[in-house]
Structure 1
Amino acid sequence: MLFYTIASLLLVGTTFAQTPPGFTPSVNKTLDVYYGSTYITPGLLIKKSAVAKAPVIGVTGETLTGKYLLAMIGKPGQGANAKRGTVLHALLQDFAPSGQTQNGTNVLTTKATGPASYFGPAPPAETPKHPHNYIFLLHEQPANFAVPSGQKSAVSGRMGIDWPKFMKDAGLSDPLYANYLQVQSGDNTKREWQA
Protein backbone atom coordinates (compact mmCIF):
# COMPACT_ATOMS: atom_id res chain seq x y z
CA MET A 1 0.00 0.00 0.00
CA LEU A 2 2.82 2.41 0.90
CA PHE A 3 4.53 1.55 -2.41
CA TYR A 4 1.43 2.53 -4.38
CA THR A 5 1.11 5.80 -2.46
CA ILE A 6 4.73 6.75 -3.15
CA ALA A 7 4.46 5.67 -6.78
CA SER A 8 1.29 7.75 -7.16
CA LEU A 9 2.99 10.80 -5.70
CA LEU A 10 5.94 10.38 -8.06
CA LEU A 11 3.61 10.01 -11.02
CA VAL A 12 1.65 13.12 -10.01
CA GLY A 13 4.91 15.09 -9.66
CA THR A 14 5.99 14.20 -13.17
CA THR A 15 2.54 14.70 -14.63
CA PHE A 16 2.42 18.35 -13.64
CA ALA A 17 5.88 19.36 -14.89
CA GLN A 18 5.58 21.16 -18.22
CA THR A 19 9.34 21.62 -18.54
CA PRO A 20 11.94 18.85 -18.93
CA PRO A 21 13.48 17.31 -15.81
CA GLY A 22 16.32 19.45 -14.48
CA PHE A 23 15.33 22.57 -16.43
CA THR A 24 15.09 25.81 -14.46
CA PRO A 25 12.64 27.40 -14.03
CA SER A 26 10.20 24.53 -13.62
CA VAL A 27 6.61 25.35 -14.59
CA ASN A 28 3.40 23.46 -13.82
CA LYS A 29 0.83 25.10 -16.12
CA THR A 30 0.65 24.00 -19.76
CA LEU A 31 1.17 26.44 -22.60
CA ASP A 32 -0.85 25.15 -25.55
CA VAL A 33 1.41 24.88 -28.60
CA TYR A 34 0.17 23.92 -32.07
CA TYR A 35 2.24 23.28 -35.15
CA GLY A 36 -0.51 23.25 -37.76
CA SER A 37 -3.10 20.86 -36.36
CA THR A 38 -0.56 18.99 -34.20
CA TYR A 39 -0.99 19.73 -30.50
CA ILE A 40 2.27 19.47 -28.56
CA THR A 41 1.87 17.46 -25.38
CA PRO A 42 4.84 18.10 -23.06
CA GLY A 43 7.82 16.09 -24.25
CA LEU A 44 6.34 15.05 -27.62
CA LEU A 45 9.00 13.81 -30.07
CA ILE A 46 8.37 15.46 -33.43
CA LYS A 47 10.20 15.74 -36.77
CA LYS A 48 12.25 18.85 -37.46
CA SER A 49 10.39 19.41 -40.71
CA ALA A 50 7.12 19.79 -38.76
CA VAL A 51 8.43 22.64 -36.58
CA ALA A 52 10.12 24.83 -39.18
CA LYS A 53 7.54 27.63 -38.86
CA ALA A 54 6.50 29.39 -35.65
CA PRO A 55 3.65 27.71 -33.77
CA VAL A 56 0.29 29.00 -32.60
CA ILE A 57 0.23 29.39 -28.81
CA GLY A 58 -2.42 29.96 -26.18
CA VAL A 59 -3.99 28.68 -22.98
CA THR A 60 -7.03 26.60 -22.11
CA GLY A 61 -9.46 27.33 -19.31
CA GLU A 62 -8.28 30.87 -18.64
CA THR A 63 -8.78 34.21 -20.30
CA LEU A 64 -5.59 36.23 -20.25
CA THR A 65 -5.34 40.01 -20.46
CA GLY A 66 -2.30 42.19 -21.01
CA LYS A 67 0.91 41.45 -22.89
CA TYR A 68 3.16 38.42 -22.72
CA LEU A 69 6.71 37.46 -23.67
CA LEU A 70 7.48 34.07 -25.26
CA ALA A 71 10.90 32.44 -25.08
CA MET A 72 11.84 29.22 -26.86
CA ILE A 73 15.08 27.70 -25.62
CA GLY A 74 16.89 24.71 -27.11
CA LYS A 75 18.71 22.45 -24.68
CA PRO A 76 20.70 19.42 -25.85
CA GLY A 77 19.66 16.03 -24.54
CA GLN A 78 21.99 13.19 -23.68
CA GLY A 79 25.09 12.05 -25.52
CA ALA A 80 28.13 13.91 -26.81
CA ASN A 81 26.21 17.14 -27.44
CA ALA A 82 24.73 17.28 -23.93
CA LYS A 83 27.54 19.59 -22.81
CA ARG A 84 26.67 22.16 -25.47
CA GLY A 85 24.98 25.22 -24.11
CA THR A 86 21.47 26.43 -24.63
CA VAL A 87 20.26 28.19 -27.77
CA LEU A 88 17.64 30.92 -27.93
CA HIS A 89 15.25 29.85 -30.71
CA ALA A 90 12.83 32.73 -30.17
CA LEU A 91 12.20 35.70 -27.93
CA LEU A 92 8.99 37.36 -29.03
CA GLN A 93 7.22 40.14 -27.20
CA ASP A 94 3.76 41.70 -27.19
CA PHE A 95 1.70 38.50 -27.28
CA ALA A 96 -1.90 39.35 -26.45
CA PRO A 97 -5.30 37.60 -26.55
CA SER A 98 -6.58 37.41 -30.12
CA GLY A 99 -10.22 36.62 -29.34
CA GLN A 100 -9.84 33.44 -31.44
CA THR A 101 -9.84 29.83 -30.29
CA GLN A 102 -8.28 26.66 -31.66
CA ASN A 103 -9.65 23.39 -30.25
CA GLY A 104 -10.65 25.19 -27.04
CA THR A 105 -7.36 27.08 -26.73
CA ASN A 106 -7.59 30.85 -26.25
CA VAL A 107 -5.05 31.90 -28.88
CA LEU A 108 -2.39 34.54 -28.21
CA THR A 109 -0.86 36.42 -31.14
CA THR A 110 1.82 39.02 -31.77
CA LYS A 111 2.99 41.07 -34.72
CA ALA A 112 6.46 41.36 -33.19
CA THR A 113 9.36 39.52 -34.79
CA GLY A 114 11.81 40.16 -31.98
CA PRO A 115 13.86 40.75 -29.99
CA ALA A 116 14.91 37.36 -31.48
CA SER A 117 12.87 35.94 -34.37
CA TYR A 118 11.76 32.32 -34.43
CA PHE A 119 13.93 29.66 -36.01
CA GLY A 120 13.03 26.02 -35.84
CA PRO A 121 14.91 23.20 -34.12
CA ALA A 122 17.87 21.71 -35.98
CA PRO A 123 19.80 19.28 -33.79
CA PRO A 124 23.18 18.28 -35.19
CA ALA A 125 23.81 14.78 -36.54
CA GLU A 126 24.88 12.41 -33.79
CA THR A 127 25.32 8.68 -33.36
CA PRO A 128 23.42 7.37 -31.57
CA LYS A 129 20.60 9.91 -31.94
CA HIS A 130 19.40 11.67 -28.79
CA PRO A 131 16.35 13.88 -28.50
CA HIS A 132 17.02 17.56 -27.84
CA ASN A 133 14.56 19.58 -25.76
CA TYR A 134 12.93 22.80 -26.99
CA ILE A 135 11.25 24.64 -24.14
CA PHE A 136 8.54 27.29 -24.49
CA LEU A 137 8.15 29.76 -21.61
CA LEU A 138 5.41 32.38 -21.42
CA HIS A 139 6.06 35.32 -19.09
CA GLU A 140 3.93 38.27 -18.19
CA GLN A 141 5.60 41.13 -20.05
CA PRO A 142 6.66 44.08 -17.89
CA ALA A 143 5.64 47.57 -19.00
CA ASN A 144 8.28 49.11 -21.27
CA PHE A 145 10.05 45.75 -21.66
CA ALA A 146 13.46 45.92 -23.32
CA VAL A 147 16.36 43.48 -23.46
CA PRO A 148 18.78 44.52 -20.68
CA SER A 149 22.08 45.91 -21.96
CA GLY A 150 24.01 43.06 -20.29
CA GLN A 151 21.91 40.50 -22.20
CA LYS A 152 21.94 42.03 -25.69
CA SER A 153 24.88 39.99 -26.95
CA ALA A 154 23.37 36.73 -25.60
CA VAL A 155 20.07 37.50 -27.33
CA SER A 156 21.62 38.55 -30.65
CA GLY A 157 24.18 35.72 -30.56
CA ARG A 158 21.56 33.23 -29.34
CA MET A 159 24.15 30.79 -28.00
CA GLY A 160 24.53 30.06 -24.29
CA ILE A 161 21.50 31.97 -23.03
CA ASP A 162 21.20 31.68 -19.23
CA TRP A 163 17.45 32.09 -18.82
CA PRO A 164 17.33 32.45 -15.01
CA LYS A 165 19.93 35.24 -15.28
CA PHE A 166 18.02 36.85 -18.15
CA MET A 167 14.84 36.76 -16.05
CA LYS A 168 16.59 38.46 -13.15
CA ASP A 169 18.26 41.12 -15.32
CA ALA A 170 15.02 41.85 -17.23
CA GLY A 171 12.84 41.93 -14.10
CA LEU A 172 10.69 39.02 -15.29
CA SER A 173 8.56 37.08 -12.85
CA ASP A 174 8.43 33.30 -13.07
CA PRO A 175 6.89 31.95 -16.28
CA LEU A 176 3.13 31.51 -16.12
CA TYR A 177 2.97 28.64 -18.63
CA ALA A 178 5.41 26.30 -20.35
CA ASN A 179 5.65 23.36 -22.70
CA TYR A 180 8.40 21.50 -24.50
CA LEU A 181 8.94 19.24 -27.43
CA GLN A 182 11.77 16.98 -28.51
CA VAL A 183 13.52 16.73 -31.87
CA GLN A 184 16.41 14.47 -32.81
CA SER A 185 18.69 14.47 -35.80
CA GLY A 186 17.55 12.45 -38.76
CA ASP A 187 15.43 14.61 -41.06
CA ASN A 188 17.80 17.55 -40.84
CA THR A 189 18.97 19.94 -43.46
CA LYS A 190 21.87 22.29 -42.84
CA ARG A 191 20.91 25.29 -40.70
CA GLU A 192 22.85 28.35 -39.62
CA TRP A 193 21.96 27.70 -35.94
CA GLN A 194 22.00 24.26 -34.42
CA ALA A 195 20.93 23.11 -30.96
Structure 2
Amino acid sequence: MRYSSFFSVLAATTCAIAASVQTVPDELATVGDPSEILSVSYAVGSTAVQVTPGVNLNSSITHNAPTVHLNETTLSGSGPYLFMMVDPDINKTNPLYVGMHTMVVNLTTSDSTSTEDAICTYFYPEPTAGAAHNYTFLLFEQPANFTVAKQFSPYLATTSQTPYNRVNFPLVQFIKEAALGAPVAANYFREAAESNSTATSSGASTTITANSTATGSAATSSSTQEGAATKVGQSGSYLMSVVVVVVVMVMGALMVAV
Protein backbone atom coordinates (compact mmCIF):
# COMPACT_ATOMS: atom_id res chain seq x y z
CA MET A 1 0.00 0.00 0.00
CA ARG A 2 2.87 2.35 0.86
CA TYR A 3 4.48 1.79 -2.55
CA SER A 4 1.14 2.24 -4.28
CA SER A 5 0.70 5.57 -2.50
CA PHE A 6 4.23 6.57 -3.46
CA PHE A 7 3.67 6.01 -7.17
CA SER A 8 0.30 7.78 -7.00
CA VAL A 9 1.95 10.83 -5.47
CA LEU A 10 4.80 10.66 -7.99
CA ALA A 11 2.40 10.48 -10.95
CA ALA A 12 0.32 13.36 -9.65
CA THR A 13 3.41 15.49 -9.03
CA THR A 14 4.84 14.78 -12.48
CA CYS A 15 1.54 15.68 -14.15
CA ALA A 16 1.33 18.90 -12.15
CA ILE A 17 4.83 19.90 -13.23
CA ALA A 18 4.06 19.17 -16.90
CA ALA A 19 0.79 21.12 -16.71
CA SER A 20 2.60 24.13 -15.26
CA VAL A 21 4.88 24.56 -18.28
CA GLN A 22 4.37 28.05 -19.67
CA THR A 23 4.24 28.08 -23.47
CA VAL A 24 4.35 31.87 -23.88
CA PRO A 25 6.22 34.55 -21.91
CA ASP A 26 4.31 36.85 -19.57
CA GLU A 27 4.32 39.63 -22.16
CA LEU A 28 2.04 37.59 -24.44
CA ALA A 29 -0.26 36.07 -21.81
CA THR A 30 -3.13 38.31 -22.95
CA VAL A 31 -2.89 36.86 -26.45
CA GLY A 32 -3.34 33.35 -25.09
CA ASP A 33 -1.39 30.71 -23.19
CA PRO A 34 -2.16 27.37 -24.86
CA SER A 35 -1.32 24.20 -22.98
CA GLU A 36 0.07 22.57 -26.12
CA ILE A 37 3.79 23.08 -26.76
CA LEU A 38 4.54 23.79 -30.41
CA SER A 39 7.33 21.51 -31.64
CA VAL A 40 10.03 23.69 -33.22
CA SER A 41 13.68 23.02 -33.95
CA TYR A 42 16.72 24.77 -35.39
CA ALA A 43 19.14 22.89 -37.61
CA VAL A 44 22.77 23.20 -36.51
CA GLY A 45 24.73 21.23 -39.05
CA SER A 46 23.29 17.72 -38.97
CA THR A 47 21.82 18.22 -35.49
CA ALA A 48 18.24 19.33 -34.84
CA VAL A 49 18.21 21.53 -31.74
CA GLN A 50 14.76 21.25 -30.18
CA VAL A 51 13.28 24.37 -28.60
CA THR A 52 11.85 23.90 -25.11
CA PRO A 53 9.86 26.70 -23.43
CA GLY A 54 12.18 29.32 -21.98
CA VAL A 55 15.44 27.71 -23.14
CA ASN A 56 18.42 30.02 -23.69
CA LEU A 57 19.76 29.99 -27.26
CA ASN A 58 22.38 32.00 -29.12
CA SER A 59 22.95 33.31 -32.63
CA SER A 60 24.88 30.24 -33.78
CA ILE A 61 21.60 28.33 -33.43
CA THR A 62 18.96 30.89 -34.43
CA HIS A 63 20.67 32.47 -37.43
CA ASN A 64 18.68 30.48 -39.99
CA ALA A 65 14.96 29.83 -40.05
CA PRO A 66 13.40 27.28 -37.68
CA THR A 67 11.48 24.16 -38.65
CA VAL A 68 7.95 23.65 -37.34
CA HIS A 69 6.90 20.05 -36.64
CA LEU A 70 3.11 19.93 -36.63
CA ASN A 71 3.10 16.13 -36.76
CA GLU A 72 4.81 16.20 -33.34
CA THR A 73 2.27 18.66 -31.92
CA THR A 74 -1.15 17.59 -30.62
CA LEU A 75 -3.70 19.43 -32.74
CA SER A 76 -7.43 19.00 -33.33
CA GLY A 77 -7.20 19.07 -37.12
CA SER A 78 -4.82 18.64 -40.04
CA GLY A 79 -4.80 22.32 -40.97
CA PRO A 80 -4.23 24.70 -42.52
CA TYR A 81 -2.42 26.60 -39.78
CA LEU A 82 -0.70 29.97 -39.55
CA PHE A 83 2.69 30.21 -37.84
CA MET A 84 4.50 33.31 -36.67
CA MET A 85 7.57 34.23 -34.66
CA VAL A 86 7.54 37.52 -32.78
CA ASP A 87 9.62 39.48 -30.28
CA PRO A 88 7.43 41.05 -27.57
CA ASP A 89 10.44 42.69 -25.90
CA ILE A 90 11.59 44.89 -28.75
CA ASN A 91 9.29 47.71 -27.64
CA LYS A 92 7.17 47.08 -24.56
CA THR A 93 3.97 49.04 -25.02
CA ASN A 94 0.30 48.84 -24.18
CA PRO A 95 -1.51 47.87 -26.36
CA LEU A 96 1.03 45.24 -27.37
CA TYR A 97 3.30 45.88 -30.34
CA VAL A 98 5.95 43.35 -31.32
CA GLY A 99 8.83 42.73 -33.68
CA MET A 100 7.77 40.43 -36.53
CA HIS A 101 10.38 37.80 -37.44
CA THR A 102 8.43 35.52 -39.76
CA MET A 103 4.93 34.47 -40.74
CA VAL A 104 4.08 31.30 -42.66
CA VAL A 105 0.63 30.21 -43.84
CA ASN A 106 -0.94 26.99 -45.11
CA LEU A 107 0.96 24.65 -42.78
CA THR A 108 -0.49 21.16 -42.34
CA THR A 109 0.18 18.21 -40.06
CA SER A 110 1.66 16.29 -42.99
CA ASP A 111 4.71 18.56 -42.63
CA SER A 112 4.80 18.84 -46.41
CA THR A 113 6.40 22.10 -47.54
CA SER A 114 4.62 22.11 -50.91
CA THR A 115 1.69 24.20 -49.67
CA GLU A 116 3.56 26.43 -47.23
CA ASP A 117 3.96 30.10 -48.04
CA ALA A 118 6.31 32.35 -46.08
CA ILE A 119 4.45 35.63 -46.45
CA CYS A 120 7.00 37.22 -44.13
CA THR A 121 10.51 35.88 -44.65
CA TYR A 122 12.61 35.05 -41.63
CA PHE A 123 15.15 37.39 -40.12
CA TYR A 124 17.18 36.22 -37.19
CA PRO A 125 17.22 37.68 -33.67
CA GLU A 126 19.64 40.52 -32.95
CA PRO A 127 18.77 41.63 -29.42
CA THR A 128 20.34 44.80 -28.12
CA ALA A 129 22.43 44.87 -24.95
CA GLY A 130 20.44 44.24 -21.81
CA ALA A 131 17.97 41.61 -20.68
CA ALA A 132 17.34 38.59 -22.89
CA HIS A 133 14.38 38.78 -25.28
CA ASN A 134 11.59 36.20 -25.30
CA TYR A 135 11.29 35.16 -28.95
CA THR A 136 7.92 33.49 -29.28
CA PHE A 137 6.40 31.00 -31.73
CA LEU A 138 2.61 31.12 -32.12
CA LEU A 139 0.41 28.71 -34.07
CA PHE A 140 -3.16 29.60 -35.08
CA GLU A 141 -5.90 27.79 -36.94
CA GLN A 142 -5.96 29.54 -40.31
CA PRO A 143 -9.41 30.83 -41.30
CA ALA A 144 -10.86 29.97 -44.68
CA ASN A 145 -9.99 32.53 -47.36
CA PHE A 146 -7.35 34.09 -45.12
CA THR A 147 -5.81 37.28 -46.45
CA VAL A 148 -3.56 39.95 -44.98
CA ALA A 149 -5.28 43.32 -44.73
CA LYS A 150 -3.54 46.14 -46.56
CA GLN A 151 -2.53 48.03 -43.42
CA PHE A 152 -0.45 45.08 -42.18
CA SER A 153 1.44 44.35 -45.42
CA PRO A 154 4.30 46.84 -44.84
CA TYR A 155 5.20 45.06 -41.58
CA LEU A 156 5.60 41.73 -43.37
CA ALA A 157 7.64 42.90 -46.34
CA THR A 158 11.34 42.27 -46.87
CA THR A 159 12.80 45.51 -48.20
CA SER A 160 15.86 47.70 -47.82
CA GLN A 161 14.23 48.94 -44.61
CA THR A 162 14.07 45.47 -43.04
CA PRO A 163 14.15 44.77 -40.13
CA TYR A 164 13.08 48.28 -39.17
CA ASN A 165 9.74 47.92 -40.96
CA ARG A 166 9.02 44.83 -38.85
CA VAL A 167 9.08 46.81 -35.57
CA ASN A 168 5.84 47.79 -33.79
CA PHE A 169 3.71 45.17 -35.51
CA PRO A 170 0.18 45.55 -34.02
CA LEU A 171 -0.19 41.90 -33.05
CA VAL A 172 -3.45 42.10 -31.10
CA GLN A 173 -5.13 44.11 -33.85
CA PHE A 174 -3.89 41.69 -36.51
CA ILE A 175 -5.18 38.65 -34.63
CA LYS A 176 -8.58 40.28 -34.20
CA GLU A 177 -9.01 41.51 -37.77
CA ALA A 178 -7.76 38.24 -39.26
CA ALA A 179 -10.17 36.30 -37.00
CA LEU A 180 -7.37 34.02 -35.82
CA GLY A 181 -8.71 33.50 -32.32
CA ALA A 182 -6.42 32.26 -29.57
CA PRO A 183 -3.23 30.36 -30.46
CA VAL A 184 -3.62 26.57 -30.38
CA ALA A 185 0.06 25.93 -29.60
CA ALA A 186 3.07 28.02 -28.68
CA ASN A 187 6.69 27.94 -27.60
CA TYR A 188 9.46 30.44 -26.91
CA PHE A 189 13.18 30.79 -26.31
CA ARG A 190 15.36 33.44 -24.73
CA GLU A 191 18.30 35.12 -26.42
CA ALA A 192 20.53 37.93 -25.20
CA ALA A 193 23.01 40.12 -27.02
CA GLU A 194 26.46 38.64 -27.50
CA SER A 195 29.73 40.54 -27.24
CA ASN A 196 31.80 41.05 -30.38
CA SER A 197 34.31 38.51 -29.07
CA THR A 198 31.73 35.72 -28.74
CA ALA A 199 29.23 36.45 -31.50
CA THR A 200 29.46 33.85 -34.25
CA SER A 201 26.70 34.05 -36.83
CA SER A 202 24.99 37.41 -36.79
CA GLY A 203 27.81 39.78 -35.90
CA ALA A 204 27.05 43.49 -35.59
CA SER A 205 25.54 44.13 -39.00
CA THR A 206 21.87 43.80 -39.90
CA THR A 207 21.24 41.44 -42.79
CA ILE A 208 18.23 39.50 -44.02
CA THR A 209 18.19 35.90 -45.17
CA ALA A 210 15.57 36.60 -47.80
CA ASN A 211 15.57 33.04 -49.14
CA SER A 212 14.94 31.50 -45.72
CA THR A 213 11.56 29.99 -44.92
CA ALA A 214 10.13 28.26 -41.89
CA THR A 215 11.82 25.05 -43.02
CA GLY A 216 15.27 26.45 -43.65
CA SER A 217 18.48 24.85 -42.35
CA ALA A 218 21.44 26.43 -40.59
CA ALA A 219 24.96 26.65 -41.94
CA THR A 220 27.44 27.27 -39.14
CA SER A 221 30.94 26.08 -38.33
CA SER A 222 31.39 22.75 -36.57
CA SER A 223 33.26 24.45 -33.73
CA THR A 224 30.12 26.36 -32.73
CA GLN A 225 27.61 23.60 -33.45
CA GLU A 226 28.84 21.24 -30.74
CA GLY A 227 28.97 23.87 -28.01
CA ALA A 228 25.56 25.27 -28.91
CA ALA A 229 23.90 21.87 -28.94
CA THR A 230 25.40 21.05 -25.55
CA LYS A 231 24.04 24.26 -24.07
CA VAL A 232 20.54 23.46 -25.22
CA GLY A 233 20.80 19.94 -23.87
CA GLN A 234 21.68 21.24 -20.44
CA SER A 235 18.76 23.68 -20.41
CA GLY A 236 16.36 21.10 -21.73
CA SER A 237 17.19 18.74 -18.86
CA TYR A 238 15.93 21.20 -16.24
CA LEU A 239 12.44 19.72 -16.06
CA MET A 240 13.85 16.21 -15.54
CA SER A 241 16.04 17.50 -12.72
CA VAL A 242 12.99 18.96 -10.99
CA VAL A 243 11.20 15.61 -11.27
CA VAL A 244 14.19 13.77 -9.76
CA VAL A 245 14.30 16.17 -6.82
CA VAL A 246 10.59 15.71 -6.20
CA VAL A 247 10.98 11.90 -6.29
CA VAL A 248 13.77 12.02 -3.70
CA MET A 249 11.69 14.26 -1.42
CA VAL A 250 8.64 12.00 -1.65
CA MET A 251 10.71 8.85 -0.96
CA GLY A 252 12.25 10.52 2.08
CA ALA A 253 8.85 11.47 3.43
CA LEU A 254 7.57 7.91 3.01
CA MET A 255 10.61 6.43 4.77
CA VAL A 256 10.04 8.75 7.74
CA ALA A 257 6.38 7.74 7.85
CA VAL A 258 7.38 4.05 7.96
TM-score tier (shorter): 0.7 to 0.9
The answer to whether structure 1 residue 71 and structure 2 residue 84 are counterparts is yes
TM-score, with normalisation over the residues of structure 1? 0.75
C-alpha distance in structure 2 between counterparts of 1:96 and 1:74, whole Å: 24
1:23-172 pair list within 5 angstroms? 23=28, 24-27=30-33, 28-36=35-43, 37-59=48-70, 60=72, 62=74, 64-76=77-89, 86-98=98-110, 107=111, 109=113, 112-124=116-128, 126=129, 129-156=130-157, 157-172=165-180
Question: Match for 1:162: what amino acid?
Answer: P
* Percentage identity across paired residues of the two chains: 27
Q: How many residues align?
A: 170
5+ residue gaps, structure 2? 1-12, 158-164, 209-258
| C-alpha displacement of 1:97 | 2.0
- Choose which of 4, 21, 27 in structure 2 pairs with 1:16: 21
- The structure carrying a bigger helix percent of its residues is 2
| C-alpha displacement of 1:185 | 0.7
C-alpha distance in structure 2 between counterparts of 1:149 and 1:52, whole Å: 29
Give 2:225's aligned residue: none
Judge conservation of contact 2:81–2:139 (CA < 8 Å) in 1: yes
Cα deviations by residue, 1:111-131 (Å, 9 ceiling, x for unpaired): 54432111111112x2xx421
C-alpha distance in structure 2 between counterparts of 1:140 and 1:15, whole Å: 24
C-alpha distance in structure 1 between counterparts of 2:42 and 2:65, whole Å: 7
Question: Match for 1:92: what amino acid?
Answer: V
Question: Match for 1:180: what amino acid?
Answer: Y
The structure whose Rg is larger is 2
C-alpha distance in structure 1 between counterparts of 2:172 and 2:108, whole Å: 23
C-alpha distance in structure 1 between counterparts of 2:84 and 2:113, whole Å: 14
- The structure carrying a bigger strand percent of its residues is 1
